Amino acid sequence: MNKIICIANQKGGVGKTTTAVNLSASLAAAGKKTLLIDADSQGNATSGLGIDRILHGQSNFYHAMIGQVTLDSVIVETALPNLHMVPSNQDLIGMEVEFVHLEDREVRLRKLLQSMNGSYDFIIIDCPPSLGFMTVNALVAAHALIVPLQCEYYALEGLSYLLNTVKLVKANLNPGLSLDGILLTMFDARNSLAHRVAEDVRKHLGNKVLKTIIPRNVRLSESPSHGLPIILYDVKSRGAFAYMALAEEILRRGT
């Protein structure tokens, strides 16, 4: 089994990286061999797992994407035995421009992942906040897509652009891509607006909305500064419970 899931939304600050890191960690804790790929030049998933401290001067995701090194050679271990990661940093910023002239610019990541050939049960890709080549590469390489939506007033704004991009990718490059779910994040149960937004999203998107809702939880926002996923930082927090429930929901869905 090998399932590739990309976490995408062109909006920043909606919980993509938090979800990528903590879903990966929860799947790993459930015994699944998991690879987390940081596809964002901001490198937040990388620093969130404390990897940036060992990264200086080493090859990373960018060097694999431009074909200088193999993907295998840039994989690093994390504090969780079942969780490996492909780190990134600002090297990746140039990629959007450098890729414009490449013929296979949309399928580079898919080709790299094919070389992994079933070494992992799950591969999770943390996308940047844009619909550029990097996100398109992730959508082309993935079997499934999870879209985090922050429970705030403008939650649905821009979603149609993303879903349209998904439609184009499905029509042209990756017919098997499935929207495995809209994930409601940063839900504040005391805020009546959050309830209304959640209701609204369910009304519009129905069974595309994942059952698990990620609550707003301060422990989740603290854990990256310790370089740890929530299950290692505070396993008893509501954030940890929520991401473990998300992993269970994803595992129930299977491949």
Ligand X SMILES: Nc1ncnc2c1ncn2[C@@H]1O[C@H](COP(=O)(O)OP(=O)(O)O)[C@@H](O)[C@H]1O
Residues that bind Mg ion (CB under 5 A): 16-17, 44
- End-to-end Cα, the chain, rounded Å: 8
Give how many residues touch ligand X by CB under 6 A.
Answer: 18
Q: How far is the CB of 67 from ligand X (least distance, A)?
A: 27
Q: Which does 78 bind (CB under 5 to 8 A by kind): ligand X, Mg ion, none?
A: none
Q: Which residue, 98 or 222, has its beta carbon nearer to ligand X? A: 222
Q: How far apart are the C-alpha atoms of 34 and 69, rounded to whole Å? A: 21
Q: Which does 15 bind (CB under 5 to 8 A by kind): Mg ion, ligand X, none?
A: ligand X
Report the site for ligand X in 152-211 (rule: CB under 6 A): 185-186
Q: Which does 83 bind (CB under 5 to 8 A by kind): Mg ion, ligand X, none?
A: none
Contact stretch for ligand X (CB under 6 A) within 9-17, 30-38, 154-162, 189-197: 9-17
Q: Which residue, 155 or 220, has its beta carbon nearer to ligand X? A: 220
Contact flag: residue 151 with ligand X (CB under 6 A): no
Q: How far is the CB of 6 from Mg ion (least distance, A)?
A: 12
Distances (CA, A) of 37 to 63, 83, 102: 13, 11, 22
Q: Which residue, 44 or 46, has its beta carbon nearer to Mg ion? A: 44
Contact stretch for ligand X (CB under 6 A) within 81-89, 99-107, 164-172, 216-224: 216-224
Report the site for ligand X in 111-140 (rule: CB under 6 A): 129
Amino acid at 219: R
Q: How far is the CB of 214 from ligand X (least distance, A)?
A: 5
Q: Which does 216 bind (CB under 5 to 8 A by kind): Mg ion, ligand X, none?
A: ligand X
Contact stretch for ligand X (CB under 6 A) within 11-19, 57-65, 89-97, 104-112: 11-19
3-state secondary structure the chain: CCEEEEECCCCCCCCHHHHHHHHHHHHHHCCCCEEEEECCCCCHHHHHCCCHHHCCCCCCHHHHHCCCCCCHHHCEECCCCCEEEECCCHHHHHHHHHHCCCCCCCCHHHHHHHCCCCCCCEEEEECCCCCCHHHHHHHHHCCEEEEEEECCCCCCCCHHHHHHHHHHHHHHCCCCCEEEEEEEEEECCCCHHHHHHHHHHHHHHHHHEEEEEEECCHHHHHHHHHCCCHHHHCCCCHHHHHHHHHHHHHHHHCC
Residues that bind ligand X in the complex, under the rule CB under 6 A: 12-18, 44, 129, 185-186, 214, 216-217, 220-221, 224, 239
